[in-house]
Structure 1
Amino acid sequence: MSHDALSRPQVHALLADGTTVCIREVRPGDHEQLRGFYEEMSPDNLRLRFFAISRRSAEMAADRACAAPHPGYLALVAETQGRVIGLAEYDTSGTGHEAEISIAVADTLHHRGVGTLLTEHLVSAARAEGITAFKADALCENHEILRLFADLGLHTARHFDGPEVRCTIELAESESYLTAVEERGRAADVASLQPLLRPDAVAVVGAGRKPGSVGRAILHHLHSGGFTRRLFAVNPAATSILGVPSYPSVAALPRTPDLVVLAVPAAAVAETAEECGKAGVRALLVVTAGLDADQAAALLTSCRTYGMRLVGPNCLGVSNTDPELRLDATFAADHPRPGTAGVAVQSGGVGIALLDGMSRLGIGVSSFVSLGDKFDVSGNDMLQWWESDGRTDLALLHLESFGNPRAFSRTARRVTRRMPVLTVDAGRTDAGRRAAASHTAAAATRTMTRGALFTQAGITATRSVGELLEAAALMHAQPLPAGPRVAIVTNAGGAGVLAADACAEAGLILPAPTPQLVDDLLGVLPEGAAVGNPVDATAAVGEEQLMECLERIMRNGGVDAVLVALVPTAVAAATGDDLVRALTRAPGRRAKPIAAVRLEQALPVELLATSDGGAVPAYAEPQAAARALAHTARRAAWLARPAGTVPALADVDTARAHAVAEAYLDAHPDGGWLDPRVCAELLGCYGIPLSPWAWAETEDDAVLAADRLRGADGRVVMKGHWPGLLHKSVEHAVHLDLRGDSQVRAAFRDLETRFAGRLTGVVVQPLAARGTELFAGVVQDQVFGPLVLFGLGGTATEILADHAARLAPLTDHDVHDLITAPRCAPLLFGANGERPADLEALEQLLLRLSRMASDLPQLAEADFNPVLASPGGVSVLDARVRLLPNRQQDPYLRRLR
């Protein structure tokens, strides 16, 4: 067993029915329990496991699992409340890349996903050790284990030999395996949340007899909200509170509640949670704040030990407005209005604002969870619940932190295909960010990282609660636009100008009307109307005229959405016309979105009911309407594009790259920046194109290198190197445009003199040809994983800050977005009559950089600056790579926080 395997921490994960189990390595002290585990198996299952029944089978199996660890062997157990319910092992027997596996599950736990979960953890561990395939022998009649292997999502081959079958399982990561793991995780997650969000019985611990306590407020909300199931209070000093029966303890309740709300002092939380776990409670809602580290750890330990899902601590509560349930376990001022928006927040204040906003708009809430300190239940859990509940069609999130961003991103990409997912991008600044060590680290702000996550996942990210409500109103009430082209119609020229400015600033397009449309509109609008974009219908426009104008614009193929800016006038009032009614007297569902701006409107956004049962959003400011339309246009564009794929790459040697990284870290346990030779070797494992170069440690070696590398014009570049050198130009450690041996010798002597005692050698390269100087890099974010950056390069890269970023692994779409997003992109596509750069080679460079970052968790930073792009190809002129002793962690392995 490797050192990594020995230090593998125990984790908790969910079975198919939502039960929590602990997955950990076998320890020598498990011998008696493992022997008992096998002895309790039925004779049939023992025969299927061992192919024969022997009195010594259980003893021998326990001996094997608990023996002193040896290389190539790993044994994992699944246990619940200290009882072993499953065992999985692999053993390479010294063969290296293939391992024999065996799986055993307690008789009473079959068909609940124990074996599958253990196998997934074995697969993850084996991949980290370089194992590429599992082998397993089974009896042909052992249908359960054969089905387990077949349903993993990995390529499995079978070879039948009489009564036995030999299975070979390829461990290469694939989309089909990730999808299968994801689907198993989703089903288990939703099952585990049933006691929390659809409980049959709820108890509130800490509800006082006198008004003023949080516990009493939650009990009142549950009772007054009409909770349709059993409701209890726990208070040793009362037999009834607010008409709800009260009992002295959780253990004294007439039935075990599915959900217990804890509103007790921080010092009592852990003890009460332990009592709940022993009683069989399945979910806890802890509203108490102020837990110290020991109290928090004890609370989470109880939840994991007894398999309770946990919301909080320090939260507002949970709510499910399903009429069959009417669960409102919050202490918000009012009950949320039933509806179709799922809401999950970390901030209670933001939660109250969103509940109020959704209720006021008439959208309402399907379920609400205040995550608080987010010890367990997260935004990822809630996305999966809303995906499955049959009631939610709009997801609203306010997340200040991410436990597993890559798993969240994968879930969100799937959910956003089915419903809009909107978030308030909280925590965009990081005033305490460390001074960056490289161009890549300098560019990789937390804002850029979060933005990459949201963009790639298709999440609509807003900058405030108000902006989120604006976008949610439009997405809820109107169809998505086919594109960003907007027509503006107004009855006041000034309002039209404001709306036009707002649309342009939001990135929307205002196309000029076609001559045919101009004629059509002039035929229905009052005399004096100006038909451009905006369309100024004048103050004389009537209700019928405005309605006909809108319908004709809607039918025009050159427009994707319509923004109507209206101001109240005495003219309309005198004729009895209601211009707003022109928007709401819909002749049927419109195929294109329409948004109104009413400058006199008191509320920032309202939904105006239409005659066909729909709604039109109305905004008090044109900027709000334009922002909302821009968000919907981006969502439509994201949905219209097929999901990207991670392209296969030729000439990649991952095994050699791991060996290079491990050899460097063996020699430098604290990590560091690679010297040019090791850096080139690592980049060569991924086929990353470096400009020709040579290493020289003496003046004569430098001259020989220059003679060998000189191009047609005979000029070379010399760069000094010493450990820790980051910015060569800042240190004036670069000599350009060197001609002839004498200039090469003079340059070497200059570097040797100025950096005496530090210089370890020089890099000699031919002077690069003309091209566009770019920057590409990657930084390993401790939370989000590897982030790939791309943009304008050269010495001013940090000053100009013309960069885009995407999280690795990059898909083909991500690479396209990276190349086209920076402001310098036109230079690559042939601006000013120049030939375009080799875009295919540039895409390959970014894909290979992404692959290297995804393969090597030790890769802390990579900095390619400049990268020269020309019609003839792409080459990296200067590369720096920093390695740190980071451990591989599977972001998609099923485990609880």
Structure 2
Amino acid sequence: MSTVHPPHGTSEALLADGTTVELRPLGPDDHRAVLDLHAEGMSEESRRLRFFGVSRNAPAQAADRLCAPRPDLLALGAWAGDQLVGEADCELVDDPPQTAELALAVADRWHGKGVATLLLEHLVHRARADGICFFEADTLFGNQAVHQVFADLGLPVERRYAQGEVRIRVPLEESDERYRSAVDVRGRRADIASLAGLLRPGSVAVVGASRRPGSVGRTVLGKIRRGGFTGAVWAVNPHADEIDGEPVYPSVRALPAVPDLAVLAVPAGAVPGVAEECGAAGVRALVVLTSDLDVQEARGLMRACRRHSMRLVGPNSLGTAQTDPAVRLDAEFGGAFPRPGTAGVAVQSGGVGIALLERLAWLGIGVSSFVSLGDKYDVSGNDLLQWWEADGRTDLALLHLESFGSPRAFARTARRVTRTVPVLTVDAGRSTAGRRGAASHTAAAATPTVTREALFRQAGITATRSIDELVEAAALLHAQPLPAPRGAVAVVSNAGGIGILAADACAEAGLELPELPAELGKLLPSGASVRNPVDTTAAVGPAELALFLRALEDEQAIDALLVCLVPTALCATPGQDPARALMEGPARRRLPIAAVLLDQQVPVRYRTCVDGGMLPAYSDSVAAARALAHAVDRARWLAEPEPVPVDAPGCDRHTARSLIDGYLTAHPAGGWLDPLTTADLLEAYGLPLTTSMWARDEHTAVAAADGLRRLGHEGKVALKAYWPGQVHKSALGAVRTGLATDDEVLAAYREFTEKFGAELAGAVVQPMAVPGVELLAGVVQDQVFGPLVVLGMGGTATDVLDDRAARLAPLNERDLTTMVTELRSAPLLMGSGAAPPVDLAAVRAVLARLSRLAEDFPELVEADLNPVIVRPDGAVCVDARVRVERRPSFDPYLRRLRRPSAAEGM
């Protein structure tokens, strides 16, 4: 009989109605709860369907079976508070192997809330980690509820019918897109339901509202009341009777009704107790403004929220705001009430939130909802993206995130949302310092900057470097149509020097400036130039400029317009200001237009056009060009087809698993694989490592060189010294190349012996590779972001050239292409001059197989293939290093609520 490894730990997740349940393995202490579930929580009809008949002993037998520790049984329970509301279990069977018999039970009162499906998702995850490939289950033909659970799961289901019973078989080996999409849909529905109390509350209590003017609680209470909140609002403070003539209640329990939302402005030590009181009363969400909670206070706060199904914003939050006319809630202590509109805003820093709201208000962009995430113990950017996707109001999302709880889940959500809503972020926490102590070139490339950029690029997020740049890009994306993906811009100015500066800004932003037809010059005053940038001269009037801009819109070679206008003495003449050509025309044209008005005092603002629409006007051409570049990048991302997962056929996962497990058994602390194990692992995944022979001494080195010649590798060989823990062998003088004779091989090995002494464990002998373009291909496992695949120029000049592209695994077909084209040295690969192009399909295959290897084995923490020599007829890796460590199985897409380290006391 096979063994199921005992599952460790617990996790919390959301049901379809937003209720939080705890999922954990069942044990002997749960016997009473399991008995109650089957005996009291299920009707006689439910027990008949579960046990295929009516037996008074069935509940007790089920409790005995599920709670007794057994090596062949995996049982999970779902707990709402102290009540066990459902269980799912699988028991290993010998025939067929790698199969487990599945059973489910859910309390009648909890039917229709997604308990069974959630339990199954977590059971699937744990079963896969233990090597279980199939679930099988018997059910009655009339048990429609169970049949629906399997139909909704998203995995393929095989059914066999016989005499009123149905045998169900579910393959678990493949986690296909259909399954992940089904999980996404269920997770989205549960997330949105859980956030209703926070973002669409019917009533609010401010706990800690003080009579002292200027205090946080008093400020928030006043803003809620003055903002016109449509529901009931109450103040809670045991030391006050009234504030501003309104009654104050001593506790949440004393309120006339249960509020949907409670805003906490109490001392840190009081937060856990107040949170528990709110939860026990039935409050659905908390916003905690208090900061500086210690570990015990954080734990108490999270325990109360999870136990009572409350969603939490904060602690250390500035607050939240909802401008929906049906709500009109301003529960934050920033500046003015956010202007109603359609931009969703989420920030971690309160200061950033205040600055962003001020700039948006000045620009005139209204907000649909605003959330200051603070220390982000619970509600995250991922939650808010899903809310904005479904709220029917938000058409622009602005984020400031300093950290990510589950980057891969966030990227998956963002990739879907950005198809319909532009998502912009300030890329906070950038670092230019590489990992200087990294043991491989791949690890050195995986800086925080590179990793975050990969996340944003793959998700289609517009990443900016400052609040000002964020607002500048938002102004254009919010008010203008997208340009064509080509990014060809016509720069028009009434002053030649300013036009040249604008053209330079466009070029630096990656935009193109195509030549314009000479006949367009007939529309402009004498002396004008239409070379692009266009110099209309200061003599241009609004009528001429308007006619010229209309003509440019008809040019198929142009995708966007950048119009720079300088105030001149002629502008003071009534009716002669060329800016009228912009304001008296429509705001939205066929092509997006960005105006640069050098007499403007603010970085960006909207100018109202004759049709009532808004035209973004910038005070600086660099800002306008940058905004246009962000719009072009979004257009390009949207124009690309939906990504197709990469295919890496023929990967031998079983062999690779044996190699990695064997090494970790012998080396529990992990480490760098020896050359032979490295070669075997790469071969199992079809990665093209050159023929390598191991030599333990000078005599076997000579014999290995002779053996290579007999295998058909004519010519010279390379000899590479090896010892455990070796780092950068070339820099240490541990490589000798171009060895043509046995005497040269012998001399090289003896040199290694003299130089490295007892440290030397042996050497690798390889045939000299045919010259080609040298690349670096590798993977590094980031503890938070997951595996990052890196491609760059390789060889000894890797770090000097610093020419790399990176993507988070799993890669898709689009990633395989763009990783190559993004390299500055891409022309070397595409063919330049007399040099033919290299085999790009072979490069793509290396990246695809590295991605699959890293996804399949989280234990593979670092792999460095450098150099990979690519030629027109293929690719071969001549040196590779792989490091492994024990890592728990982790599914980034499994539905669960995040656990902040502060709340866990880590």
Matching residue of 2:182: 180
Counterpart position of 2:32: 32
Q: Give the CA deviation at 1:5.
A: 4.3
Determine the C-alpha separation between the residues in 2 that align with 1:55 and 1:430. Answer: 68
Is the 8 Å Cα contact of residues 341 and 358 (structure 1) preserved in structure 2?
A: no
User: Equivalents in 2 of 1:377, 1:218: separation in Å?
Assistant: 20
From 203, 224, 238, the counterpart of 2:240: 238
What code does the residue aligned with 2:75 have? A
Q: Bigger CA drift: 304-313 or 521-530?
A: 521-530
The whole-number CA distance in structure 2 between the counterparts of 1:4 and 1:51 is 26
| SS at structure 2 position matched to 1:757 | helix
Cα distance change on mapping 1:233 and 1:4 into 2, 3 Å:
farther
Tell me the residue number matched to 1:650. 649
Equivalent residue letter for 1:737: G
Number of the residue aligned with 2:902:
none
Q: Which residue of 1 aligns with 2:566?
A: 567
Paired AA for residue 188 in structure 1: A
Contact 2:586 2:609 in 1 (8 A): no
Deviations 1:841-876 (A, max 9, x none): 111011001100111010110001110000111011
Assess, with a 3 A threshold, how the Cα gap between structure 1 residues 666 and 274 changes in structure 2: closer, same or farther.
same
Aligned partner of 1:279 in structure 2 is 281
Indicate the residue corresponding to 2:64 in structure 1: 63
CA shift digits 1:396-424 (9 cap, x unpaired): 00000000000000000000001100000
User: What residue is the counterpart of 2:342 in the other structure?
Assistant: 340
Mapping 1:485-504, distance limit 5 Å: 485-504=488-507
CA shift, 1:433, in A, is 5.0
- 8 Å CA contact 1:714–1:740 kept in 2: the answer is no
Shift of residue 653, structure 1, vs aligned partner = 1.1
Q: How does 1:242-391 map to 2 (within 5 A)?
A: 242-391=244-393
- Structure 1 residue 376: deviation in Å? 0.1
Partner secondary structure for residue 177 of structure 1 = helix
1:525 is matched with 524
| 8 A Cα contact 2:7 2:126, kept in partner | no
CA contact (8 A) 2:830 2:837 kept: yes
Contact 1:584 1:615 in 2 (8 A): no
Offset of residue 170 of structure 1 = 1.7
Match of 1:599 in 2: 598
Provide the secondary structure at the position in 2 that maps to 1:125.
helix
**Deviation above 3 Å: which 4+ runs of structure 1?**
1-5, 430-434, 710-713
2 CA distance for matches of 1:811 and 1:27?
Answer: 42
Deviation at 1:753, TM superposition (A): 2.1
Question: 1:82 is matched with which residue?
Answer: 82
Shift of 1:637: 0.2
Q: Name the CA distance, whole Å, in 1 between partners of 2:69 and 2:298.
A: 35
**In structure 2, distance between residues paired with 1:3 and 1:597:** 70
Name the residue aligned to 1:784. 785
Q: Look up the match of 2:746.
A: 745
What is the number of equivalent residue pairs in this alignment?
Answer: 892
Alignment-derived partner of residue 686 in structure 1: 685
Distance 1:458 1:576 in 2: 44
Cα 1:704–1:495 change in 2 (3 A) is same
1:165 aligns with 2:162: no
1:94, distance to aligned residue in structure 2 (A): 4.0
- 1:769–1:352 CA distance, 2 compared to 1 (3 A): same
Deviations 1:662-689 (A, max 9, x none): 1110110000000011111111110111
User: 1:736 maps to what in 2?
Assistant: 737
Match for residue 47 of structure 1? 48
Give distance in 2, aligned partners of 1:295 and 1:47.
Answer: 47
| 1:546 alignment counterpart | 545
Q: Which amino acid aligns with 1:256?
A: V
In structure 2, C-alpha distance between the alignment counterparts of 1:523 and 1:227, rounded to whole Å: 59
CA distance in 2, matches of 1:574, 1:30: 87
Alignment correspondent of 1:556: 555
Cα deviation for residue 182 of structure 1 reads 0.6
Aligned-partner Cα distance in 2 for 1:785–1:656: 23
Tell me which amino acid in the other structure corresponds to 2:152: D
Amino acid at match of 2:622: Q
- Alignment-derived partner of residue 9 in structure 2: 9
Contact preservation (8 Å) 1:600, 1:620: yes
User: What is the rounded CA distance, in whole Å, between the counterparts of 1:579 and 1:4 in structure 2?
Assistant: 77
Alignment match, 1:469? 471
**Greater mean alpha carbon deviation, residues 348-357 or residues 224-233:** 348-357
Structure 1 residue 443 and structure 2 residue 445: aligned? yes
Q: Deviations over 1:759-779 (max 9, x none)?
A: 111100011111011101110
2: CA distance, partners of 1:4 / 1:860: 25
8 Å Cα contact 1:651/1:686 also seen in 2:
yes
Percent identity (aligned): 57
| Structure 2: distance between partners of 1:231 and 1:773 | 67
Structure 1 residue 614 displacement after superposition = 1.6
More displaced stretch, 469-478 vs 120-129:
120-129
In structure 2, what is the equivalent of residue 510 of structure 1? 513
The Cα offsets for residues 533-576 of structure 1, whole Å up to 9 and x where unpaired, read as 01111111111111111110011100000000001111132142
Go from structure 1 to structure 2 and tell me whether the alpha carbon gap of 1:487 and 1:431 turns closer, same or farther (over 3 Å shift). Answer: closer
Work out the CA distance in 2 between the residues paired with 1:369 and 1:3.
47
Query: Within 2, Cα distance between the matches of 1:589 and 1:623?
Result: 22
SS in 1 for 2:824: coil
Q: Tell me, yes or no, if the aligned pair for 2:672 and 2:882 is still in contact at 8 Å.
A: yes
Q: For 1:281, give the aligned amino acid.
A: V
Do 1:99 and 1:134's aligned partners in 2 also have CA atoms closer than 8 Å? yes
Letter in 2 for 1:440: T
Per-residue Cα deviation, 1:741-773 (whole angstroms, up to 9, x for no partner): 111111111112222211111100011111011
Which residue of 2 is the match for residue 847 of structure 1?
848
For residues 452 and 2 of structure 1, do their structure 2 counterparts lie closer, same or farther at Cα, with a shift above 3 Å needed?
A: farther
| 1:460 matches 2:459 | no
Unpaired segments ≥5 residues, structure 2: 899-906
Q: Is the 8 A contact 2:775 2:793 kept in 1?
A: yes
CA distance in structure 2 between the partners assigned to 1:451 and 1:268 by the alignment: 40
Shift of 1:577: 2.2
CA distance in 1, matches of 2:609, 2:798: 52
Report deviation, 1:268. 0.6
- The Cα shift of 1:701 comes to 1.4
CA distance in 2 between counterparts of 1:302 and 1:587 reads 55
| Residue 7 of structure 1, CA deviation | 4.4
The TM-score, its normalising length taken from structure 2, stands at 0.97
The answer to which of 79-88 and 569-578 deviates more is 569-578
1: CA distance, partners of 2:89 / 2:511: 58
Separation in 2 of the partners of 1:705 and 1:432? 39
Match for residue 775 of structure 2? Answer: 774
CA distance in 2, matches of 1:821, 1:524: 40
Q: Give the equivalent residue in structure 1 for 2:903.
A: none
2: distance between equivalents of 1:583 and 1:169? 63
Amino acid at match of 1:814: D
Give the letter aligned to residue 390 of structure 2. Answer: S
Deviation at 1:647, TM superposition (A): 2.4
Alignment gaps of 5+ in structure 1: none
Alpha-carbon contact 1:309-1:377 (below 8 Å) kept: yes
User: 1:210 — aligned with what?
Assistant: 212
Do the aligned partners of residues 652 and 209 (structure 1) sit closer, same or farther apart at CA in structure 2, a change above 3 Å counting? same
Deviation of 1:64 (Å) = 0.7
Cα displacement (A) at 1:6: 2.4
What SS does the corresponding residue of 2:795 show, helix, strand or coil? coil
Q: Secondary structure at the match of 2:109?
A: helix
TM-aligned CA deviation for residue 245 of structure 1: 2.9
2:587/2:612 contact within 8 Å kept: no
- Asked if 1 retains the 8 angstrom alpha-carbon contact of 2:435 and 2:446, the reply is no
Paired residue type of 2:51: F
Partner residue, 1:883: 884
> Following the alignment from structure 1 to structure 2, what is the Cα–Cα distance between the partners of residues 244 and 845?
69
Task: Summarize the Cα distance change of 1:587–1:397 in structure 2 as closer, same or farther, 3 Å threshold.
Answer: closer
- Tell me if structure 2 keeps the 8 A contact 1:5–1:125: no
Counterpart residue type for residue 500 of structure 2 = V
- Match of 1:528, SS state, is coil
RMSD, aligned α-carbons: 1.4
